[in-house]
């Protein structure tokens, strides 16, 4: 059994994605999104980014996706 740790600290993640839309266009776009560790997972964060893109571009196939904390 694993314990889930919930924290109030929000981490900003940077994402970069290349998609091919159903009509054949290839689009590369990027942005940042706030993530609350312990509440959000990599899966839920990825899903939120892709859902946002679906609202903008309709149907598409992901060609490349990069999602990392936005720090150096």
Concatenate the DSSP letters of all residues of 46-63 into one string. Answer: HHHHHHHHHHHH-SEEEE
Query: Does the pLDDT of residue 66 top 70, yes or no?
Result: yes
Query: Does the pLDDT of residue 2 top 60, yes or no?
Result: no
Q: What is the pLDDT of residue 4?
A: 53
Confidence of residue 5 (pLDDT cuts 50, 70, 90): low
Q: What is the pLDDT of residue 53?
A: 97
Does the global pTM surpass 0.85?
no
Give the pLDDT mean for 46-64. 97
Taking a C-beta distance cutoff of 8 angstroms, is the pair 68, 42 a contact?
A: no
Phi, psi of 10 (to 5 degrees): -100, 135
End-to-end CA distance of the chain: 33
Query: Does the pLDDT of residue 49 top 60, yes or no?
Result: yes
């Amino acid at each position: 059994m694993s314990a889930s740790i919930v924290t109030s600290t929000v981490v900003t993640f940077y994402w970069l994605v290349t998609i091919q839309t159903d009509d054949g266009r290839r689009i590369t776009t990027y942005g940042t999104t706030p993530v609350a560790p312990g509440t959000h997972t990599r899966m839920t964060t990825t899903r939120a980014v892709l859902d946002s893109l679906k609202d903008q571009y309709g149907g598409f196939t992901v060609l490349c996706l990069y999602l990392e904390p936005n720090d150096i």
